[in-house]
Amino acid sequence: MRDYVSPRIATARDGIDAERIGLLSFLEFARSHKEIYRIIDESEFVDAAAYRAHYENTAARMTTRLAKAAERGDVRADVEEVHAWAIMGMNVFLGLRYGVWDDSRPADEIAAIANALIEKGIGARG
């Protein structure tokens, strides 16, 4: 999943766009690999440390990305790990609802709606 999403995020024009592209790419991946949620969820019972590491590593990448966006002035200067976990949580449930359970709504539409929340919440001009 990381190998699919990360190169796409690298094409973003700014930090806010990176979050939109991240969710869009995640939705695309989830739609093509609907078993991903089952694999991740079941991993908690097979290897709890790996399960936790999956989320912690993802949050760490997001936190770093947000910090760089803050340095550029793309998002508020006070972004931190909590913001990364909040965005990640939103993405996880949007992926479940609009990637696995029902993929009939355009992924770019879902990503744009979620991105508006991010832009208004942590955007430098939000």
pLDDT digit string (tens) for 55-96? 999 999 999 999 999 999 999 999 999 999 999 999 999 999
pLDDT digit string (tens) for 8-17? 999 999 999 9
Beta bridge partners of 75: 123
Q: What is the pTM of this model?
A: 0.90
pLDDT digit string (tens) for 92-101? 999 999 999 9
Residue spans per domain, the chain: 2-122
How many residues make up the chain in this entry? Answer: 126
Cα 40 to Cα 44, 58, 88, distances in angstroms: 7, 13, 14
Ordered alpha helix ranges (H), 14-97: 15-32, 36-46, 48-72, 81-95
Calpha distance 24→106 (Å, rounded): 10
Measured over the CA atoms of residue 83, residue 96, residue 58 and residue 42, the dihedral's sign is positive
